[in-house]
A and B are shown apart, each in its own frame.
Chain A
Amino acid sequence: MNQMSCPRTGFSRRGFMIGIAGMTFAIAAGEEWFANAATEAPGAAGTAFNPWVSIATTGAISIISPATEMGQGSLTSLPLIVAEELDADWSKVVVVPAPPIDKIYGNPGFGGVMHTASSAAVTGFFTDLRTFGAQVRAVLLDNVAKQWNVSLAELSTEPSVVVHAKSGRRIGYGDIVAFAEIPAVAPDIQPESLKKTSDFRLIGHDVMRIELPTKVNGSATYAIDVQVPGMIYGAVLRSPVEGGAPDTLDDAAAKAVAGVIDVVRLPYGIGVLAQTPWAAFDAQSALESGVTWQRSGKAWGFDSDEALDAFAADARNLNMPTSVDWFKQGDAEAALTQAATGIEAEYRCHYAYHAQMEPLNTVASVSAAGDAAEVWCGTQYPTAAQAAAARALNIPAEKVKLNYTLLGGGFGRRGDYDQEFVVDAVLMSKSARRPVKVMWTREDDVHNGHFRPITAHYLRAGLDASGKLIAYNQRVVGDRVLPFEDPPRFHGNHDRDYLLMNGVELASYDIPNQYGGQIPRDTGIRTCPLRGIGFTANKFVVEAFLDEVALKRGADPVEFRLQLLRNTPRGQKVLQRVAEMADWSRKRDNTALGCAFIDYNDTLISGVAEVSVDHSTGEIKVQNFWCVVDCGIAVQPDNVVAQFEGGIVYGLGLALTEEISIRDGAVQQNNFYDYRVMRMNDLPEIHVEVIPTDNHPTGVGQMPVPIVAPAVNNAVAQLTGVRLRESPMTPDRVKKALG
C-alpha cells in the first residue's frame, strides 16, 4: 500500500470515461496509463470508470490519491472525497497512489502539478474529486436503470449499493460491474446535484487514516527503508557553500576504509560508494581533510548576522525604493502623511531549518548503458523528482520509473524543483553501474539545508484623530525564495515571490490604505518554503506591530482586532471564541496573555499564548496555547486538530529556539545539539477548537505555524513591557532586551 509504483502494462480494460463537466483532459501519456493507474493496488483489479475510480466484481473500489503522504493525511482525505459522492462503502475502498502524471493528477489548485505543498491538496482537489465520484455513481445508476428497465428517478444509493425502493431490489456496485457499459464521455454533473453537506456520511466524520496501522508496527515503508538486490551504499560530501565545486582531492584515507568500493567526483561534491552504510559514512568523514573547494558560487564570505544588519538598514532607508509592489490598497504614503499619530517599528527573522525526521535519501538503479533508471524516493513533487533524475542522466523523463514512498516528514524540504537528493543517487548509481542507496547524515541534512529566509521588516502605521487605523506600510528586505526553490514556478507567477511575501497584505482587516513592498535580495544562500512560508515571518511582524498600535491607543488587543475585523464576521468569530477559551480578560499572577489573528489562504485562525519569563535566564515558558480555526468544511475533523496541535509545536520551535547562522557562506549548526527543536518537556498545554462551517474547505497543514510567534511576542510584551523584535526569541535575546 505505502510503496507505490508506476503502472505496469498489460491490463485490459473495458473502457472508461474522462473529463469533468465542461472539461476534457489532454491525453498525452496514453489512455492505458489511466486504466493501469486505477488498478495498480494488489487485488484491486477491476473496471476503470475514470482515471480515479475502478471497481472490481468483488465490490472492491480502487480510488486514486494524487498527493504524497508526509503525515498530513491527504492519502486518506482525498479518496474519501471521491468516495463520498460515489456513495462508496469506505471499508471496501483501496487507496491507490497516483502515478506521476501532472496532466491527469496535477492539483488544479496548485498550477496543475503533482506537488504536495502549500496545504493545497484538499482545497485544490475538493470540487473535482466530488465530481469524479458523482460521475461514477451516475454511470452505475444509469446502468442499473437500463438493466432493470426502471426510471432513473426511482433509484437511489446506499453505501456501495443501488436501491430500487419501489420493488425492494438492491444490487451491489461490484455486481453492476459485470454488465456495466461505460460511456465514452463523462456524464455532466452540475454542482447543485452534489450532496448537501448535511448528507455527508464520510466527509466530516473521522475515519482511520489508511496508512496509520503500518506506523505502529514498523511496516510503513519510507525511501530509506528500500532495499533492492545488488544494492550498495553511498554518501556524498558536498561543498560547504552552495555552488562550490571540488578542487583538489586526496582520497587515500577514504579508500583505506574497509568496505569502500570507489570515490566518485561529482560536479558539486565527492561521493563514496561502499558495501555498507557505516563504511560509506566513515569514508565520508575521512574525505573531509582531503578535499579543497573551488570558491565558485555566490555565498562565499556571506555572514548572516552582517547581512541582516544590512537588510534592516535598507528596510528603514526610505530613500531606497521598494522594487516590487506586493500589495497596494488606497494610498498608504499619503495617509501616513495626513495621520494624526504615526507609529513605526522594525523586526527581524533568522534562517530556520526543516528538520524532517527522515534525513534525505534516495535509492536509484541506473541501467548499465545509462539510458534508463528506476528511482525510489520520498518526495513532495513526484514529477519534479522524475524530471530531475532524467536531467541528471540526460535521458527523457519517461525513461525514469519513479516509485515514491511515504515521507518521513516534508515541511517543504522535499518539494524543491532541483530534488538534489534524487540526483545524488542517480549519479552515484550511474558511476557504480549497480543500485545505490545514498543517505544523508543528519549533519549533511543540516549543512545542506534549504532554509526559511532571513528578513528585515520596517513598518509604519497612521492613526487619524479619532484613533482609527488609516494607514499601514510594510517594507520587507529578504532573501528571495521562489527564484531559488522553483525557477519555473517563479516565472509562472509573474516573478512574484509569494513564498517570501505572503501575509504582508492584511485582507481581513479594515485598513483603508495599505502598502506592502519588497526589496529583493539574492545572497546565494539556499532558501526554501518551510511550513508556514512567508506567513511565519510576516504575521509575526504584523501581529506584533498591531499590538504596539493597540497599546499606543490604549486599546485592548482583542477588541482592537475585532474592530479591524468588522467586515470579516468569520474572523471575528474565531477571535471571540479563542478569547473565551483563554478567559482573556482575567489577569494572572506571573503570567500574561497575548493574542494574534491570521488569515492564511482563507483559513481563519486565532491564538492566545500564556507565558512566563525567567528574568535570570531569559527563557520564555509558554504555559498555555489556545487556538481556534475555521477552515470551512473539515473533511477529517480530528486530523485538523492533529495538524493544529503539531503545527503549534512547530511554530513554538521557530518562535523560541530554532536558528541557522551562516559564516563565510557555511552553515554553523550540525545536529539536534545545536539546532534545538521542541521536545515533550518544552510544551505548553495546547487547546485547539475547530469551528465547523459549510464553506469550501481550506488548508490546515501549515496554517497554525505562524499564529504562535506573534501571540507569544505579545504576551511577553504584556508581561514585561518589553517588545522583542527578533525571531527566534532566544533566551540571550530576551535577556538582552530585558536589560
Chain B
Amino acid sequence: MAFQFTVNGATVSVDAPAATPLLWVIREELKLTGTKFGCGVGLCGACVVHIDSKRAFSCQMQVSNVAGRQVTTIEGLSPDSSHPVQRAWLAERVPQCGYCQSGQIMSAVDLLQRKPHPTRAEIVEQMSGHICRCGTYRRILRAIERASRES
C-alpha cells in the first residue's frame, strides 16, 4: 500500500505494509540514515524525529500514521549544521560515539521550540526519554542551556 507524506520538505510516496515502523521506512527506503535504531520499543530515543513539528519516536509510529503529515529528520534540521542546537552541540563537544545524538538533538529542538528558555528540571524531564550509553548527559544539558541562551 502506498502512503504519501512529506519528509524534510519533499513529498514522498512509500509502498509498504501499513504497520511498517516509520523508522525503517526513513532509514532503508528513504535512505536518511541519521535517524537510528536503538531499541525498537520507544525507550532509548535514538529514533526521534519530528512529525508536524513535534517529537515522535519513529520506531513506534506506523507508516500509515504519517500519511499526509510532515516528517523532519536530523538531515532536515538545517542544510549546514547551523541550527543553534547543532552549533551548541559542537561548542560543548557533546558526542562521543555519536549514535544517539541525532535523536537527542531532535528532542532538544522540540523542547526549545515549545519552551525557548526551559528550566534545568524541564530539560532533564524531556531528555530522560533518551539513553546515551557514552554518558554525555551533562554536556547535552549544557548544550541545551547554551542553545537557549544564544538563540
Q: How many residues of B contact A (CB 8 A)?
A: 58
A219 CB contact (under 8 Å) in B34, B44, B93, B141: B34
Hey, which chain B residues are within 8 Å of A214, CB to CB?
98
List B contacts of A222 (CB < 8 A). Answer: 36, 99
When distances are taken between beta carbons in the complex, the residues of chain A under 8 Å from B123 are: 680
A-B pairs with lowest CB-CB distance, top 6: A218-B34, A649-B135, A71-B96, A71-B97, A215-B98, A408-B99
A72 interfacial by beta-carbon distance below 8 Å: yes
B136 at the interface (CB under 8 A from A): yes
Does A645 touch B at the CB level, under 8 Å?
A: yes
Complex-state Cα separation, A643 to B95, whole angstroms: 11
Residues of A within 8 A of B96 (CB): 71-73, 642-643, 646
Q: How far is the CA of A233 from the CA of B139 in the complex (A)?
A: 36
Instruction: Give the CA-CA distance A276 to B26 in the complex, in Å.
Output: 12
Chain A nearest CB: distance from B55 CB in Å?
A: 15
- Kindly state the separation between the CA atoms of A219 and B73 in the bound complex, as whole angstroms: 12
Contact A218 B28 (CB under 8 A): no
With a cutoff of 8 Å between Cβ atoms, the chain A residues found around residue B57 in the complex are none
Decide if B43 touches A671 in the complex (CB within 8 Å): yes
A220 touches B98 (CB 8 A): yes
Residues from chain B with Cβ under 8 Å of A200 in the complex: none
Is B105 an interface position by the 8 A CB rule?
Answer: yes
Docked complex Cα distance between A683 and B128 (Å): 10
- Chain B residues lying within 8 Å of A225, measured Cβ to Cβ, are 27, 33
Please state if A216 and B132 are interface contacts (CB–CB under 8 Å): no
Any chain B CB within 8 A of the CB of A20? Answer: no
Neighbouring A residues of B17 by C-beta, 8 Å? 258, 278
Q: Does A679 belong to the interface (CB within 8 Å)?
A: yes
Of the residues A409, A648, A683, contact of B99 by C-beta under 8 Å = A409
Q: How long is the Cα–Cα vector from A221 to B93 in the complex, in angstroms?
A: 19
A647–B135 touching, CB < 8 Å: yes
The answer to whether B133 and A679 touch across the interface, beta carbons within 8 angstroms, is: no
Contact of B31 among A206, A227, A680 (CB under 8 A): A227
Contact with B along A648-690 (1 / 0, CB 8 A): 1110000000000000000000011100011111010010000
A681 and B44 contacting across the interface, CB-CB below 8 Å: no
Could you list 10 A-B pairs, sorted by A, with CB under 8 Å? A208-B90, A215-B101, A216-B81, A217-B75, A358-B36, A638-B93, A650-B135, A671-B41, A677-B131, A683-B138
User: Is residue A70 contacting chain B, with contact meaning CB distance below 8 A?
Assistant: yes
A356 interface contact, C-beta 8 A: yes
Q: Does B39 contact A (CB under 8 A)?
A: yes
Other-chain contact of A216, B31, B33, B89 (Cβ < 8 Å): B89
Chain B residues with Cβ below 8 Å from A671 are: 39-41, 43
Chain A residues with Cβ below 8 Å from B27 are: 225
Is A678 touching B135 in the complex (CB atoms < 8 A)? Answer: yes
CA distance A648 to B130 in the complex (A): 18
Closest to A221 in B: B33
Residues of chain A lying within 8 A (CB to CB) of residue B99: 222, 356-358, 408-409
| Least Cβ–Cβ distance between A277 and chain B, in angstroms | 5
Given A71-B134, A408-B97, A645-B139, A439 contacting B37 (CB threshold 8 A):
yes
Q: Is B67 an interface residue (CB 8 A)?
A: no
Cα A444 to Cα B137 with chains together (Å):
26
Beta-carbon contact of B131 and A679 below 8 Å: yes
Checking B81, B94, B140 against A680 with a beta-carbon cut-off of 8 angstroms, the contacting residue is B140
Asked if B101 contacts A216 (CB within 8 A), the reply is yes
Give the residue of B31, B131, B138 whose beta carbon is less than 8 angstroms from that of A645: B138
Q: Which residues of B contact A276 (CB under 8 A)?
A: 16, 20, 24, 28
Determine whether A441 belongs to the interface, using a CB cutoff of 8 Å to chain B. Answer: yes
Task: Encode contact with B along A216-254: 1 for CB under 8 Å, 0 otherwise.
Answer: 111111101101000001000000000000000000000
A213 to B96, CA, bound (A): 11
A: residues with CB less than 8 A from B are 70-73, 206, 208-209, 211-222, 224-225, 227, 233, 258, 276-278, 355-359, 406-411, 439, 441-443, 638-639, 642-643, 645-650, 671-673, 677-681, 683, 686
| B56 interfacial contact with A, CB 8 Å | no
B46 contacts the other chain (Cβ, under 8 Å)?
yes
- Taking CB as reference atom, which chain A residue is nearest B132? A357
The answer to whether A672 touches B34, judged by C-beta atoms less than 8 angstroms apart, is no
Partner of B95, one of A216, A224, A277, A638: A216
User: Which of the residues A70, A212, A217, A278 comes within 8 Å of B34, measured between beta carbons?
Assistant: A217
Cross-chain contact B133 with A411 (CB below 8 angstroms): yes
Taken together as a complex, chains A and B put the C-alpha atoms of A192 and B18 apart, in Å, by 69
Contact (Cβ within 8 A) B133 A650: yes
Distance from B15 Cβ to chain A, minimum over Cβ atoms (Å): 11
A217→B77 contact, CB < 8 A: yes
Q: What residues on B are CB-neighbors of A411 within 8 Å?
A: 133
What residue of chain A has the Cβ atom nearest to residue B136's Cβ? A646
Nearest-CB residue, chain A, relative to B32: A218
A211→B95 CA distance, assembly (Å): 10
Task: Name the A residues within 8 Å of B35 (CB-CB).
Answer: 218
**Within 8 Å CB of B90, what residues of A?**
208, 212-213, 216
| Chain A: minimal CB distance from B83 (Å) | 9
In the bound complex, what is the Cα–Cα distance between A649 and B131 (angstroms)? 11
Contacts of A410 in B (CB 8 A): 97
Are the CB atoms of A642 and B39 closer together than 8 Å? no
Given contacts A71-B97, A215-B95, 8 further A-B contacts (CB under 8 A): A219-B34, A225-B33, A278-B17, A356-B133, A357-B36, A407-B97, A409-B97, A673-B43
Contact B74 A218, beta carbon cutoff 8 Å: yes
Per the 8 Å Cβ criterion, residues 59-111 of B in contact with A are: 73-75, 77-78, 81, 86, 89-90, 93-102, 105
Q: How far is the CA of A439 from the CA of B28 in the complex (A)?
A: 12
With A71-B97, A276-B24, A406-B97 already in contact, the answer to whether A216 and B105 are too (CB < 8 A) is yes
Would you call B125 an interface residue if the criterion is a C-beta within 8 Å of the partner chain's C-beta atoms? yes
Q: Point out the residue from B75, B130, B136 that lies within 8 Å of A218, measured CB to CB.
A: B75
The interface residues of chain B lying within 8 Å CB-to-CB of A681 are 124-125, 128
B135 to A224, Cβ gap below 8 A?
no
Are B139 and A680 touching (Cβ within 8 A)? Answer: no
Complex CA gap A218/B95 in Å reads: 12
A672 touches B133 (CB 8 A): no
* Distance in Å: Cβ of A271 to nearest Cβ of chain B: 18
Min distance, Cβ A237 to any Cβ of chain B, angstroms: 16
Per the bound structure, the CA–CA distance linking A678 and B130 in Å amounts to 10
Q: Are A642 and B139 in contact (CB under 8 A)?
A: yes
CA distance A356 to B97 in the complex (A): 9
Chain B nearest CB, measured from A269 CB (Å): 19
Closest approach, in angstroms, between the C-beta of B78 and any C-beta of chain A?
8
Contact A645 to B136, CB < 8 A, known contacts A258-B17, A406-B98: yes
> Which residues from chain A contact B24 at a C-beta distance below 8 Å?
276-278
Q: Is the CB of B33 within 8 A of A686?
A: no
Taking the closest CB of chain A, its distance from the CB of B94, in whole angstroms, is 8
**Nearest CB of chain B from residue A229's CB, rounded to whole Å:** 12
How far apart sit A439 and B41, CA to CA, in the bound complex (Å)?
A: 16
Q: Which residue of B lies closest to A211 (CB)?
A: B98
Among A407, A646, A649, chain B packs the most CB atoms within 10 A around the CB of A646
Cβ distance A477 to chain B, nearest Cβ, rounded Å: 30
Which residues does chain A contribute within 8 Å of B140, judged by CB atoms?
A: 680
Chain A neighbourhood of B31, CB < 8 A: 227
| Contact, CB under 8 Å: B37 / A224 | yes
Query: Are A679 and B130 touching (Cβ within 8 A)?
Result: yes
Q: Is the CB of B38 within 8 A of A359?
A: yes
Interchain CA distance A277-B133 in the complex, whole Å: 24
Most buried by A among B32, B33, B46: B33
